[in-house]
Amino acid sequence: MPYLSVNHSAFCNTGRYMAVNVSIPNETDRRERVAQWVDRHSGRIMVLPAVLILLAFAIFPLIASAYLSLSRFALAAGSFKLTFIGFYNYTRLFLGVQQYHFLGTFKPFGPLEWTLLAGVMLLLAAWLSRYALTGFTPLGFAGRLITAGLIGAVWFVVLATAVAGGIPGTLLNTLLYVFVGVFVQFVLGLALALLCAQPIRSRSWFRVIFFIPVMVTPVGVAYIFRMLADMQKGPFAPLSHFLGVSQWSWATEAWSARLMVLIGDTWQWTPFMFIVLLAAVENQPRDQLEAAHLDGAGPFQIFKDITWPTIAPVAATVVLIRLIEAFKIIDMPNVLTAGGPGLATESLTLHSFISWRTQDLGGSAAVGYLLLFVSTITCVSFFNFVVRYTRRYQ
């Protein structure tokens, strides 16, 4: 009986609705349809702003820069002229007049260099063949081949310049900052995190204070360290007088200059590692820790068996984040030493920047692209071989 009455009123309603329809245009209907269309395409609409922004500010410049790197830029008659010159900008960085700048000054190999080269080549070959024999996929092998190729090529350059007594170029400087810098920052950050995770008071205070360096603008940090490193007028002047080095300028020697850049970089970015690693250490599974304590494990055993495996995925990811950012380093070397002495502290970004300043836009774009190339291979390799490995238990 209720069912019938619903039907009945629906019939009546329809009649009333249709009467209304005739006199007023169905605006609600149109709004309803627009709303439904929006909802159906909501996925695309939500993604659209981000995609458009990235297309305009990332993809387009990327392609434009690629084109630029294949051309020669020349100012002409109030505007500019771009002439297509193929890969010339690149070849001169590897084999031509700019080789000293990018790769470095080569010296001939001695027996030491040959042995080291052979050793690394053998290791890489072993790694590749092990993959080829267990679970081979074409894409995986191609990826590993690229990674091995880059490692081998970089190692060759390292031997030919740094080890054989030559002068490293901007590529090696950048790799030094990236790998040594990130490694030191990681070790320091982990040590601080482990200490801060102990049962101590004022942990929050340490957390806030240690985080401050990350928040200072990098160019500011660079100037701060230039101030601090002044051997005559800086705060360590009495110390340098005492040690008898006050007349020596660290900026005149390649390795001391590089060290200063690394110190400044470490000061600024260790806190980043610290904050994330501290959160990871604090999030260790308490029951496993208690079980290990009951079983009689000492602090080193607990670190090896519980802490390290638990934080490994987070550690790998935070190292990856830092690697990505470290490749772009420019403020510290530019402000501290303007890339000097010579090119001892010049990073790839700084190299590109200097080329831009000298109107060599094509060369600048080429260096930038090579940086992108090296950076991408390194970061993707790191992700595939390290980050994924640490997540194998999840």
Partner 1 sequence: MNTPPDTRPLMRRLFERRSLDTLAPVPKFATYAILLAWTFVVLFPLYWVLVTSLKIQIQVDAGPYYIPFVDFTPHLDAWNFMLFQNNTLWPYMNSIIVALTSTILALLFGSMAAYALVRIRFQVKLAAIIAFIVLVIGVIVAVVEFAVPWQVAILAAIVLFFLALTSIGRRFKAALGNNDIEFWMISNRIMPPIVAVLPIYVMFQHLKLLDTQIALISTYTAVNLPIVVWLTRDFFAGIPLDLEESAEIDGASKFRVFFTIALPLVRSGLAATFMLVLILAWNEYLLALFLSNANAQTMPVLVSAQNTTRGPQWWYMSVLIVIMIVPVIVIAAFLQKHIARGLLIGAVKG
Partner 2 sequence: MQVTLKNIHKSFGAVDVVKGLDLDVKDGEFLVLLGASGSGKTTALRMIAGLETVTSGTIQIGERDVTNILPKYRDIAMVFQSYALYPHKTVFANIAYPLTVRKHPRAEIEAAVKDVARQVQLDTLLERYPRQLSGGQRQRVALARAIIRRPAAFLMDEPLSNLDAKLRGYMRAELKHMQHELGITTIYVTHDQVEAMTLAHRVALLDKGVLQQLDTPATIYNAPANLFVAGFIGSPPMNFLQGELIDGGFSSAAGSFGTRSRATNPHAVAGIRPEDCRVTTPELGKFAGEVFATELIGDHALVTCRCSGSNVTVKVEKDFQRGIDEKIGIGFDEKALHLFDSQSGSRLA
CA distance 371 to 87: 16
Among 148, 190, 276, 326, contact with partner 1 (rule: CB under 8 A): 276
- Does residue 299 touch partner 2 according to CB under 8 A? no
Q: Of the candidates 296, 119, 272, 148, which has an alpha carbon nearest to the alpha carbon of residue 210?
A: 272
Residue 194: how many CB atoms within 10 A of its CB? 16
- Does residue 324 touch partner 1 according to CB under 8 A? yes
Among 14, 91, 129, 301, contact with partner 2 (rule: CB under 8 A): 301
CA distances from 361 to 60, 70, 256 (A): 17, 10, 31
> How many H-runs (helices) and E-runs (strands) does the chain carry?
20, 4
- Binding partner of residue 145 among partner 2, partner 1, none, CB cut-off 5 to 8 Å per kind: none
Specify the residue for token string 């070849």.
91
The number of residues in the chain equals 394
Task: Tell me whether residue 3 or residue 393 sits nearer to partner 2 (CB atom).
Answer: 393
Tell me whether residue 13 is exposed, middle or buried, using C-beta atoms within 10 angstroms of its C-beta: 0 to 12, 13 to 18, 19 or more.
exposed
Residues 362-391: x where in contact with partner 1 by CB under 8 A, - otherwise, as a string: --xx--xx-xx--xx--xx--x---x---x
- Does residue 58 touch partner 2 according to CB under 8 A? no
- Does residue 285 touch partner 2 according to CB under 8 A? yes
Least distance (Å) from partner 2 to the CB of residue 168? Answer: 39
- Binding partner of residue 220 among partner 2, partner 1, none, CB cut-off 5 to 8 Å per kind: partner 1
How many degrees, rounded to 5, is the angle at CA 314 between CA 382 and CA 290? 140
- Judged by CB under 8 A, the stretch of 27-35, 254-262, 292-300, 322-330 that binds partner 2 is 292-300
Q: Of the candidates 182, 157, 183, 177, which has an alpha carbon nearest to the alpha carbon of residue 168?
A: 157
- Judged by CB under 8 A, the stretch of 73-81, 154-162, 282-290, 358-366 that binds partner 2 is 282-290
- Judged by CB under 8 A, the stretch of 103-111, 121-129, 264-272, 296-304 that binds partner 2 is 296-304
# residues near partner 2 by CB under 8 A:
17
- Binding partner of residue 340 among partner 2, partner 1, none, CB cut-off 5 to 8 Å per kind: none
Query: What are the φ/ψ torsions at residue 261 (nearest 5 degrees)?
Result: -60, -45
Residue 170: how many CB atoms within 10 A of its CB? 29
Binding site for partner 2 (CB under 8 A): 285, 287-288, 290-298, 301, 305-306, 309, 393
